[in-house]
C-alpha cells in the first residue's frame, strides 16, 4: 500500500504547509469518515466546522479559510482545494484492473481489423470488419465495436459498451459500462394512411473528440445524415441522452439524467444540470448554464444562466419564486 509523508504531499501540491504530523498518509477520505492516516480536504467554511471532530491527520484547505491544524496535525493551504485534491487522488489511484493478456481467447476479431501497439481486448469482446484501434486501447470484457469504426490511442472502454458502425472516437477517452454510441436516432412520421408510423433511417455516424468521458448507461445517437458530434474534453455523466445530429462544443458538462433532443447545438463550456431537458433545434451558446431540472424551449445567449420550466433567466426566475412564496403567506 502506498503511503506518503505530509512533506512529500506538499511537494506535489506546492502549497503552504501549516503544522506537522508524523503519520504516514495512505489515502484521502471524507472528514467524517477519515482515520488518523488519512488526508481530507476543506473547500468551504461549512466543512471547516468538521475539522475539530475529524480523525484525519491532515487536510487540504482553501487558503482563505482560517483554521488551526491542532496537535500532530497538518494543513496544506492552496488556492483551490478541489483541484489540489484531484491532483493528490491521481497519486493514490490504484489504476485499472489488472489485465494479464493482450487478446483474450474468447474475443472475436475480424481479420480485416487493425490494432496498434499495446491494445488489451477482454473476454467476449467483438471487433468488426475494418475497425481501427490506435495504440494502448483497452476494451474490458463484452465490448462490441462494429464495422469501420476508428478509436484513438489510449481510449478505455468498459464492459457492455456498444459502438456502432462507422463511428470515430478520439484519443484518451473513457466510456464507462453500458454506453451506447451510434444507435439509431428517434425519428418517426405518421404513415400516409394515418394508421401507423414510418421509421426515418439514420445513416450518419457519431464523431467524438479527444479526452471525452461518458458515464454508465448514457446514449449518443447517430445522425440522421452527417454526424452527431461531441467536442474535445466534454464530460457526460451517467444516464444521459444525446439525440441525433446534436453538436457539443469543447469542454461541455452534462450531469446525470439530462438530455438533448435532436439537432441541439451547445457552444464551448456549456453546463447542463442534472435532469434538465433541451428542446430540439435549440442552441445554447458558449459558457451558458442550465440549472438542474430545467426545460429549455428557446436559444440561450452566451454566459447566461437559466432555470425553471420553461427555463428563463435565473434572476427573473428567482424573483418569481420569491413572489410566489410571499403570495402563499398573505
What pTM does this model have?
Answer: 0.91
With cut-offs at 50, 70 and 90, classify the pLDDT of residue 198. very high
Q: Is 244 a catalytic residue?
A: yes
User: For the chain, what is the mean pLDDT?
Assistant: 95
Cα separation, 318 vs 304, whole angstroms: 14
Coil, strand or helix at 225: coil
Active-site residue identified among 38, 176, 202, 244: 244
CB 26 within 8 A of CB 35: no
What is the DSSP code (8-state) at residue 16? E
Q: What's the CATH architecture for 161-315?
A: 3 Solenoid (2.160)
Mean pLDDT on 215-237 = 98
pLDDT of 324 higher than 80: no
Domain boundary assignment for the chain: 6-92, 161-315
Can you give the pLDDT at residue 329?
72
Burial classification of residue 232, based on how many CB atoms lie within 10 Å of its CB (0-12 exposed, 13-18 middle, 19 or more buried): middle
What pLDDT does residue 99 have? Answer: 83
Confidence (pLDDT) at 330: 64
More confident residue, 100 or 287: 287
The answer to which of 83-97, 171-185, 244-258 has the lowest mean pLDDT is 83-97
- pLDDT, one tens digit per residue, over 99-141 is 888 999 999 999 999 999 999 999 999 999 999 999 999 999 9
Category of 172 on φ-ψ map: left (φ > 0), alpha (ψ -120 to 50) or beta: left
Contacts of 222 (CB under 8 A, 6+ apart): 164, 167, 182, 183, 184, 185, 202, 203, 204, 205, 206, 228, 244
Q: In this model, does residue 321 exceed pLDDT 90?
A: no
Task: Using the predicted structure, report yes or no on whether residue 16 has a pLDDT greater than 90.
Answer: yes
CB 124 within 8 A of CB 140: no
Task: Tell me the per-residue pLDDT of 301-313, one tens digit each, with 9 for 90 and over.
Answer: 999 999 999 999 8
The residue behind cell 481489423 is 113
Domain 6-92 sits in CATH at 3.40.1390.10
Amino acid at each position: 500500500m502506498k503511503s506518503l509523508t505530509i512533506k512529500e504531499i506538499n511537494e506535489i501540491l506546492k502549497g503552504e504547509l501549516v503544522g506537522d504530523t508524523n503519520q504516514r498518509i495512505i489515502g484521502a477520505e471524507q472528514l467524517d469518515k477519515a482515520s488518523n492516516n488519512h488526508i481530507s480536504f476543506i473547500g468551504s467554511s461549512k466543512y471547516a466546522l468538521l475539522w475539530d471532530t475529524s480523525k484525519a491527520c491532515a487536510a487540504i484547505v482553501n487558503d482563505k479559510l482560517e483554521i488551526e491544524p491542532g496537535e500532530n496535525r497538518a494543513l496544506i493551504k492552496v488556492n483551490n482545494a478541489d483541484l489540489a485534491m484531484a491532483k493528490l487522488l491521481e497519486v493514490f489511484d490504484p489504476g485499472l484492473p489488472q489485465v494479464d493478456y493482450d487478446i483474450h481467447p474468447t474475443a472475436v476479431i475480424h481479420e480485416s481489423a487493425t490494432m496498434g501497439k499495446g491494445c488489451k481486448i477482454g473476454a467476449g469482446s467483438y471487433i468488426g470488419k475494418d475497425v481501427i484501434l490506435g495504440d494502448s486501447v483497452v476494451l474490458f470484457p463484452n465490448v462490441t465495436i462494429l464495422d469501420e469504426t476508428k478509436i484513438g490511442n489510449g481510449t478505455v472502454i468498459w464492459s457492455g459498451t456498444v459502438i456502432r458502425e462507422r463511428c470515430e472516437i478520439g484519443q484518451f477517452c473513457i466510456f464507462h459500462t453500458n454506453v451506447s454510441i451510434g444507435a439509431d436516432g428517434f425519428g418517426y412520421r405518421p404513415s400516409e394512411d394515418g394508421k401507423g408510423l414510418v421509421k426515418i433511417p439514420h445513416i450518419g455516424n457519431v464523431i467524438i473528440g479527444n479526452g471525452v468521458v461518458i458515464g454508465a448507461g448514457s446514449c449518443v445517437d447517430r445522425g440522421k445524415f452527417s454526424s452527431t458530434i461531441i467536442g474535445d474534453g466534454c464530460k457526460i455523466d451517467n444516464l444521459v441522452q444525446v439525440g441525433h445530429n446534436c453538436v457539443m462544443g469543447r469542454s461541455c458538462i452534462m450531469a446525470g439524467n439530462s438530455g438533448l433532443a435532436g439537432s441541439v447545438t451547445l457552444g464551448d463550456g456549456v453546463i447542463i444540470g442534472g435532469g434538465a431537458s433541451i428542446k430540439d433545434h435549440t442552441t445554447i451558446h458558449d459558457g451558458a448554464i442550465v440549472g438542474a431540472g430545467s426545460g429549455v424551449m428557446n436559444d440561450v445567449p452566451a454566459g447566461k444562466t437559466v432555470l425553471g420550466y420553461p427555463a428563463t433567466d435565473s434572476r427573473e426566475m428567482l424573483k418569481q419564486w420569491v413572489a410566489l412564496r410571499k403570495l402563499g403567506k398573505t
